[in-house]
Amino acid sequence: MEKELKSWINYDSNDSFPIQNLPYGVCKNKKTGVVSCYSRISSTAINLSVLEVSGLLDGEHKFDKNTFNKDKLNTFMSLGRKVWLQVRHRLTEIFTNEKFKTETAVSSSLENLVDLESLLPCHIPDYTDFYSSRNHAFNVGSLFRPTNPLQPNWSHLPVGYHGRSSTIVKSGTQVVRPRGQVKKSKDIDEPIFSECKRLDYEVEMGVILGQSNEMGRPIKVNEASEYIFGFVLLNDWSARDIQAWEYVPLGPFTAKNFASTISTWIITPEALEPFKITLPEQDPKPLDYLNEKDHYSYDIPISVQYKTKGQEEGVVISETNYKFMYWSANQQIAHHAVTGCSMGVGDLLGSGTISGTDEKSLGCLLEMTKSGANKITVGKEERTWLQDGDSINLVAQCQGNGFRIGFSDCEGEVLPALD
């Protein structure tokens, strides 16, 4: 069984990147400037281009020696699930069998992560953000529509909107506070131009697609999982005051297009398979095109580490979980493509803010502070909204039987608005 696997690369049982993980990323060598596609085991990076040239990744699919020497994973992703599984199988074989330890190509492929800079893992041609956690949708709806928290359509389809892929950034990128139109005051429907005063984060899971469909041809819900290359953590920063003024009648626009942060290593469905859980039965029953045979998500605990300016370490202010979903990733894909929308290799689908069932598992400040009515404690300070110099880091780890599967960090610091 995969959980019993052990690599000849050393790491302890608490490592988030054991042989069972084998994520994919893109890195630049700090000394040479060369960019390649990588996997990793613990703090050891595996240069997939070196292994490809050696032929060690070949199987039923023979690589053309020009798949992994790229600055994005899209070429590899476009080859499909059979090839993805072939590479995972070959990597598992190479790094669990000590006979490969002395092979020149294998030793040449190994690099220390400290010598590398992680980059965005793929080209993201399009981005869609959903609103698929019932807890979050109900909590937010209750703030503004106490007698009718969920809109009539919410329980019948995965609500979403198209975001801006050009401002998706990697973990560690600083985020400039946005400016825009906001209401002059609560009681006056007249705008002023202002920096955002109600800046927020959103805990989300991002799904990255590795396959495309022909325009006009929908994706069946029970085939949608074949399109999923992997998962990343996603912080979809939100300017609440800008959004409140602009979103009627077409939804978020500039309040959500200034920055979205993702983790840099893509975690595969195969690595997450031990943490797969069945989601509760949906009521009402979805229409046939959304009625999946295997309605599931994953048990992935996600913590929010908040560091104020001057603090050396972040403070955990919330702990939520990807299992708190109502609409699954497969349903999101099927609904997105039901009209014949063509999905692209590298497309990013955000889960929407993930909130649990109690006050300690909320996924954003909007919920935690009741839309600014309350303050939260962050170490020795208090906050209602994000201040300049504050930093948010999303951390996710799944504890298995004798091993752990983790995501890389999803961190961003807020900078002052620009003139």
Q: What is the pLDDT of residues 273-307, one digit of tens each?
A: 999 999 999 999 999 999 999 999 999 999 999 99
Q: In the prediction, which pLDDT does 186 show?
A: 82
What is the structure's pLDDT at 419? Answer: 87
pLDDT at res. 2: 52
Q: What is the pLDDT of residues 230-262, one digit of tens each?
A: 999 999 999 999 999 999 999 999 999 999 999
H-type helices in 58-125, by residue range?
A: 74-77, 81-96, 104-109
Percentage of the chain modeled with pLDDT above 90: 97
Mean pLDDT of 19-42: 98
For residue 4, the model assigns a pLDDT of 80
Residue 1 has pLDDT above 50, yes or no: no
pLDDT digits 0-9 by tens, 79-130: 999 999 999 999 999 999 999 999 999 999 999 999 999 999 999 999 999 9
**Residues with a known catalytic role:** 136
**Sequence-ordered list of residues with C-beta below 8 angstroms from that of 239, at least 6 positions apart, any chain:** 178, 180, 196, 198, 199, 200, 254, 255, 256, 258
Amino acid code (one letter) for 206: G
CB 386 within 8 A of CB 401: no
Domains of the chain: 2-119 (2.30.30.230), 127-415 (3.90.850.10)
- For residue 78, pLDDT beyond 90: yes
Q: What is the mean pLDDT of residues 398-408?
A: 95
With a cut of 70, say whether residue 142 has pLDDT above it: yes
- 163-194 as b/e: b if 16+ CB within 10 A: bbbebbbbbeeebebbbbebbeeeeeeeeeee
pLDDT in tens, 39-70: 999 999 999 999 999 999 999 999 999 999 99
Q: 277 φ, ψ to 5°? A: -135, 150
At 53, is the secondary structure helix, strand, or coil? helix
pTM of the entire structure?
Answer: 0.97
What is the pLDDT confidence band of residue 3, given thresholds at 50, 70 and 90?
low
| pLDDT of res. 221 | 98
Average pLDDT over residues 176-203: 95
Task: Give me the residue label for tokens 């954003």.
Answer: 364
Condensed to tens digits (0 to 9), the pLDDT of residues 338-371 reads 999 999 999 999 999 999 999 999 999 999 999 9
The average confidence (pLDDT) of the chain is 97
- Per-residue confidence band for 386, with pLDDT thresholds at 50, 70 and 90: very high
Q: Is the pLDDT of residue 389 over 80?
A: yes
